[in-house]
Structure 1
């Protein structure tokens, strides 16, 4: 990630990939079947956990 000091470890990369993949899945679900608040809430929580992991690792 730009601006991060040091290299990201495997767990951080995995969380980032899951967050990005989750965004793709939730967006596809929203386009196909309509918005689901719980899916977006879950994605936001996952994103915040990933952000916290990145901040604590840098």
Structure 2
């Protein structure tokens, strides 16, 4: 059992959080206009995800 836990712990640093993924996405922008477009896309996506979470938890 301990070997399984060690393997899982070894994988955890590989898994990146959403903020790290978003930062990497923004860092790949070509210019200021592309950066602003990507920022708007991330904002819209985060709002849509939050909205679906709220409605999903309030439904019977």
**TM bracket, shorter-chain basis:** 0.3 to 0.5
TM-score w.r.t. structure 1 length?
A: 0.48
The structure, 1 or 2, with the larger RCO (C-alpha pairs under 8 Å, 6+ apart) is 1
TM-score w.r.t. structure 2 length?
A: 0.46
